[in-house]
Amino acid sequence: MEKQIIGRGLLAGAIGGLLAFLFARIFAEPVIQRAIDYESGRDEAQETLDKAAGHPMGDMGAEVFTRSVQSNVGIGLGMILFGVAMGGLFAVVYALSVGRAGKVSPRNLALLLAGGFFAALYLVPFLKYPANPPSIGHPDTIGSRTGLYLVMVVLSSLFLFGAVLLGRRLAPRFGSWSASLLAALAFVVAIGIVMLLLPQLGHLSANTAEFGRQATETPQPLRDSSGAIVYPGFPADDLYRFRLYSLAAQAILWLAIGLVFATLTGKLFEPTGGRDAAVASTAKPAA
């Protein structure tokens, strides 16, 4: 049974990753290309300023993979493999939870777990540290940003798991509905405190001359020594679209995992006794 559940989880994850990739390829990829074009233009403007000021010029190196390969094969394979990994993790948690979730049916449990995974692994961390397009964000803070995002993922997962346990503990006393609301409130308060305590991304760039003055990770207008703007800031519309499409792609991934897994796995738990009895009775010869 466990192998069947995990196999269905891997398949559901692959389908979810493929659907998320198709959505991202159609909607997010043009925004990513504009972000890369923006970075290239900004780098050229910065090099012109550095050259005029007599600063040494850096060598970015040759591109290993072409943009076409990155935007099609690279991203597509990456999202499918990510979906497979998430589907396998989802299936393991499902196998541990099924039969211990009270009166929740196997199909509904799959949908609830998919929603929980989406919230804990992406939605809640996204509210504190929303995604930026590739190449947008100060390079000196990549490690710090990644670490803080992982902290949010771990804590939101732990708090969500704790909220589920709290709801089950409170259900006999307050009823299922009130216990669920109290558990949800506890989760919101706990994760809200964490969000207040963790630093903003812009503060990580406080030691950089370019980003520190604006206290933001999103590039602001590039100015020369006189203060005149020589290159505009990153377009707010593209930043909004990228974050919206990133959120939608993750929602598609987890919705597909939940629906496909619920459809495939629900059949494993369907009672067959009544059907077998009916078949046996029709096959029995008349006396």
The confidence band for 100, taking pLDDT boundaries of 50, 70 and 90, is confident
Confidence check: pLDDT of 37 > 80: yes
Q: How far apart are CA 136 and CA 126, in angstroms?
A: 16
Instruction: Report strand pairing: 222-223 vs 229-231.
Output: antiparallel
Q: What sign for the dihedral angle of Cα 116, 121, 126, 127?
A: positive
Of residues 272 and 259, the one with the higher pLDDT is: 259
Each residue's pLDDT tens digit, 142-172: 788 889 999 999 999 999 999 999 999 999 9
The confidence band for 81, taking pLDDT boundaries of 50, 70 and 90, is very high
Each residue's pLDDT tens digit, 129-143: 998 887 676 666 778
pLDDT for 71: 61
Q: How far apart are CA 172 and CA 88, in angstroms?
A: 33
The answer to whether the beta carbons of residues 129 and 149 sit under 8 Å apart is yes
Tell me the average pLDDT of the chain: 84
Of residues 58 and 88, the one with the higher pLDDT is: 88
The confidence band for 61, taking pLDDT boundaries of 50, 70 and 90, is low
Q: How far apart are CA 31 and CA 241, in angstroms?
A: 7
The answer to whether the beta carbons of residues 105 and 4 sit under 8 Å apart is no
pLDDT for 67: 56
Confidence check: pLDDT of 49 > 70: yes
Q: How far apart are CA 34 and CA 27, in angstroms?
A: 12
Percentage, residues of the chain above pLDDT 70: 79
Secondary structure of the chain: what % helix, strand, coil (to 5)?
A: 75, 0, 20
Question: What is the full DSSP assignment across 117-147?
Answer: HHIIIIIHHHHHS----TT-S-GGGHHHHHH
pLDDT for 206: 46
Confidence check: pLDDT of 60 > 60: no
Q: How far apart are CA 78 and CA 252, in angstroms?
A: 16
Confidence check: pLDDT of 11 > 50: yes
pLDDT for 59: 54
CA distances from 232 to 45, 79, 115, 175 (A): 10, 32, 39, 56
Q: Which pTM value belongs to this model?
A: 0.83
Domain boundaries defined on the chain = 1-58+65-136+228-268, 137-217
Q: How far apart are CA 141 and CA 203, in angstroms?
A: 10
DSSP letter at 66? -
The answer to whether the beta carbons of residues 167 and 116 sit under 8 Å apart is no
The confidence band for 2, taking pLDDT boundaries of 50, 70 and 90, is confident
